[in-house]
Structure 1
């Protein structure tokens, strides 16, 4: 049974230290080629833990933590890292999940209401457009906040501010990753039933990895800005 234990607990594969450094889509493809089997197992773990619905936000955060490790080329012990993150971030993830669900509900209702009324009054296309833009922006903020949460422990308001800043500075990579995740599900629908096993094998974990990979740079940038500002704030308070 050692092989079964090693399947879930052994250290992930690394890369040669003398290998040329890759960036962008080439790096994304290289990581996927190296970690694809880990992503399949990660997808299974997510499905098993998210099926209770109440654990869905925490399962997303746990999956994001593993995907950040993939992106940063850190050693991963899949089962241990996933379960530790699931427990550690459960309450925070649940609170953020409820908050974002409420925000999406409000703006979603606004979109439906304005879309129904805009057919009779073209002036309502303006608030309809604003509502659509806000849904997209909140989605991008949620992606950045998800990654920031597993990269650094910060107060809620500060984390939200950094997520919003990252979303303003670099929104396009997140939008591209979301488009990629949507494309995975469109492929699943278009080629069904041939693609019947896609959600069970790779759709969730690969989509999360795409989002994590895309927003990681912006998250790193805003966290570096946060670190640089803290010494100045301490020096100012000491001088006073």
Structure 2
């Protein structure tokens, strides 16, 4: 199988058709294990197309397009879906990237430069956590709904508050993963190159889609 060959989801042998569908962490790890090598391909593709500031937003939107399809259990082709997401959402994703990338960069730099535990360090950490909680939903909303940019921003803020119980620990986890990559650089380079971007994005999409499905999308007709 080539690096970017289609990765179509197929039911595995021996699965009971009457078994109850998995939810929560069981579903997360089932999809994660099944899609692991697709996430590696996605991570490499993201890094190859992610030019800081210039294309980071569009690349993030394209990656989210793929990971949302994964968590929705929709058959996916990393190469095709990535470039389709890049084309379809590049304007809104680029604007979002231009706004959030400098803020994230400055915030992470502040956590390194300011004395740990100081007031300004704690304020910076709180600001990053709040931004991350909103960001968890922003890109999935932009890439999986037909809402306008500002409606996505509004709904992302509302979902972050409404689902605080889930959003806060996931935002903390994602920031911790990023911090570990920075702290252990250059030892973390192999992990960063393989899955360092795709895994946090997959985690965010898994959390976001359940909220979008429940609170944003119209209920499915029986």
Question: Normalized against structure 2, the TM-score is what?
Answer: 0.79
Counterpart CA distance in 2 for 1:102 and 1:47 is 18
* 2:171 is the counterpart of 1:178: yes
SS at match of 1:12: coil
Aligned to 1:60: 60
SS of the aligned residue for 2:195 comes to helix
Q: Which residue of 2 aligns with 1:232?
A: none
Partner in structure 1 of residue 6 of structure 2: 10
Please give the per-residue CA displacement for 1:195-216, whole angstroms capped at 9, x wherever unaligned: 5411111111111101111222
Structure 1 position 158, deviation (Å):
1.6
CA distance in 2, matches of 1:54, 1:191: 24
User: Take 1:181 and 1:128, find their aligned partners in 2: how far apart are those partners?
Assistant: 18
Q: 1:216 aligns with which of 203, 209, 213?
A: 209
CA 1:217/1:9 → structure 2, altered by over 3 Å: closer, same or farther?
Answer: same
2:146 counterpart residue number: 153
Q: Give the CA deviation at 1:175.
A: 2.9
**Distance between the aligned counterparts of 1:38 and 1:101, measured in 2?**
25
Contact 2:65–2:85 (8 Å) recurs in 1: yes
Q: 5+ unaligned residues in a row in structure 1: which ranges?
A: 120-124, 229-240
Residue 36, structure 1, aligned to residue 44, structure 2: no
Match of 2:95 in 1: 95
Alignment RMSD (CA, Å): 3.2
- Label 1:22 to 1:191 Cα distance change in 2 as closer, same or farther (>3 A): farther
Larger radius of gyration between Structure 1 and Structure 2: 1
C-alpha distance in structure 2 between counterparts of 1:44 and 1:105, whole Å: 21
How many residues align structurally? 210
Contact 1:71 1:212 (8 Å CA) reproduced? yes
Note the 1:70-85 alignment, pairs <5 A: 70-85=70-85
Higher helix share: 1
Question: Equivalent residue of 1:214, what SS?
Answer: helix
Query: Alpha-carbon deviation of 1:159?
Result: 1.5
